[in-house]
Structure 1
Amino acid sequence: MISLTRLNGETFWFNPLYIERLKANPDTTITTTQGRNFVVKEEEEVVIKRMKQFYREIGLLRVADKAGDGSEK
């Protein structure tokens, strides 16, 4: 889970596995796989950094990095 902040200052925990789309216009808006939208104070880059850290912690990023590496034979 990653910690995020709503525009009203409320902090909440979010499971990044449910993020389908992330965009800033100018507020960062997260769209979930269920179609719900969350607007947060954090900038896009911060949310992406936290997502990547979460994926590393659960082992998904390491698997994705290795799968995309065509240099191993």
Structure 2
Amino acid sequence: MHKPKPDDRSNNAERIENTIGHTLQNMDEARDFLKAHSEELSEEEKRNIEEKNARRAESIDGMREEIKDEVAHQQRYE
């Protein structure tokens, strides 16, 4: 019988920060795409891209809260 691995949270904040960076990059690319191809896109396609960016922004807010939790956890257990 194997013992469960301990929960290694030591790099969680860093991983979340990387994910935020990638998400921000995706948002920028989507905005650039909209600007460059706005005339070629239907209103529905534009709305879908804008809604996806809105969901990304909400996700970033949640990830920033997770970082706060991770930092607090690390400070408690250092």
Structure 1-normalised TM-score? 0.31
Which structure dedicates a bigger proportion of its chain to helix? 2
Give the structure with higher Rg (CA). 2
- Higher relative contact order (CA closer than 8 Å, sequence separation 6+): 2
